[in-house]
């Protein structure tokens, strides 16, 4: 029986470090119960939003992100490709819709798009929206004009992760600053595009860094409408190829903290689900995750695929969410 509360939870933007850390380190049962209670105030706990991700331009990126196989700085044997033809991208979106995706996410391995790239990208946005799907792009840093062009084309979401805490960020990326990330988020928001922003666990960070990453997002003037939480898939040839795996309970704690700090945001299980057991994913849903990527491939890493996800949903009594709405935020 669905048990949604009559009122939405309070949206805050003033979380202190000590307050957020105390939530993260609370007894696990108390933490998950609190997160699930808050989750039910905004969302149906038995529905999960399904997205599909396509790499529209692979490799050759000028950034040196230590986790990324697409960086030109790392020897990962991943060949660079040109930007895909818009017609092929739109055809892929149609197939994704037939598989149950309601949002189509398109990513290009760029530090930032060149002006000549904007025409094909805009054609992709318009074509996918014409299918009745939500659109999301991740293209690196944007100028004000590029953000306005994407907004005018009807782009629904723009993904630009902050990856980790501001203090730990220089240990992962040296070619741009944490402030550069925040500047792009502001440009996207000012253009009227919804923000998709989260981070990655398993970069060698401490629990404090996970807390501070989420506190940064929760204390923005507007919470990101989507918050993807990735678990690192170590890739040979990257500086983080030998990174230690993330403790599953610590990962669930991070999901729960995201739900508590940002009650009305979609919290997405993103990369790394192939390394998660069904039980771990179930705990993540219990802790407030309500969005996943479907399909067998993310940008350059594997994903569980339609059959495994359908089996998991059937076991848990979960249905794909068929609406396109995000609860309003204060």
Taking the CB of residue 114, how many other CB atoms lie within 10 A of it?
9
Looking only at Cα atoms, what is the longest distance across the chain? 53
Q: How far apart (Å, rounded) are the C-alpha atoms in residues 206 and 193?
A: 32
The residues carrying an active-site annotation are: 61, 65, 68, 105, 136, 196, 268
Q: How many CB atoms lie within 10 A of CB 73?
A: 16
Q: How many CA atoms lie within 13 A of 166 on its CB side?
A: 9
Residue 77 φ then ψ, to 5° = 60, 25
The number of CA neighbours under 13 Å toward the Cβ of 290 is 26
Cα dist from 311 to 144, 278, 316, whole Å: 44, 10, 9
Q: Give the residue among 2, 27, 55 at the shortest CA–CA distance from 300.
A: 55
Of 190, 140, 128, 163, the residue nearest 324 (C-alpha): 128
The 10 Å CB-count burial string (b at 16+, else e) for 202-239 is bbbbeeebbbbbbbbbbebeebbbbbbbbbbbebeebb
Comparing C-alpha atoms, which of 159, 150, 141, 145 is closest to residue 120?
150
Looking at the DSSP bridge assignments, the partners of residue 54 are: 106
Cβ atoms within 10 Å, residue 258? 28
Q: What distances in angstroms separate CA 87 from CA 93, 120, 125, 296, 299, one per listed residue?
A: 10, 10, 11, 21, 19
Please give the angle made by the CA atoms of 16, 22 and 27, to the nearest 5 degrees: 160
């Amino acid at each position: 029986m669905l048990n949604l509360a009559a009122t939405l939870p309070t949206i805050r933007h003033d979380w202190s470090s000590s307050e957020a850390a105390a939530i993260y380190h609370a007894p696990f049962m108390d933490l998950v119960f609190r997160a699930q209670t808050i989750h039910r105030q905004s969302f149906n706990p038995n529905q999960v939003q399904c997205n599909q991700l396509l790499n529209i331009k692979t490799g050759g990126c000028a950034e040196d992100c230590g986790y990324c196989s697409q960086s030109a700085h790392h020897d990962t044997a991943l060949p660079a490709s040109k930007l895909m033809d818009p017609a092929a991208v739109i055809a892929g979106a149609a197939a994704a819709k037939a598989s149950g995706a309601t949002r189509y996410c398109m990513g290009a391995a760029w530090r930032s798009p060149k002006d000549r790239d904007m025409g094909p990208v805009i054609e992709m946005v318009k074509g996918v929206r014409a299918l009745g799907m939500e659109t999301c792009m991740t293209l690196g840093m944007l100028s004000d004009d590029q953000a306005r062009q994407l907004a005018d084309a009807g782009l629904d979401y723009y993904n630009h992760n902050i990856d980790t805490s501001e203090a730990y960020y220089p240990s992962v990326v040296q070619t741009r600053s944490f402030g550069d990330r925040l500047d792009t988020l502001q440009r996207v928001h000012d253009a009227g595009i919804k923000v998709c922003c989260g981070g990655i666990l398993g970069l060698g960070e401490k629990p404090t860094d996970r807390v501070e990453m989420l506190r940064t997002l929760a204390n923005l003037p507007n919470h990101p409408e989507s918050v993807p939480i990735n678990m690192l898939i170590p890739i040979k040839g990257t500086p983080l190829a030998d990174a230690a795996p993330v403790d599953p309970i610590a990962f669930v704690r991070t999901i729960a903290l995201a739900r508590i700090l940002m009650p009305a945001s979609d919290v997405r299980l993103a990369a790394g689900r192939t390394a998660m057991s069904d039980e771990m994913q179930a705990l993540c849903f219990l802790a407030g995750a309500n969005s996943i990527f479907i399909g067998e491939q993310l940008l350059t890493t594997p994903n569980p695929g339609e059959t495994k996800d359908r089996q998991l949903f059937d076991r848990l009594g979960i249905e794909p969410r068929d609406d396109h709405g995000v609860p309003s935020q204060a």
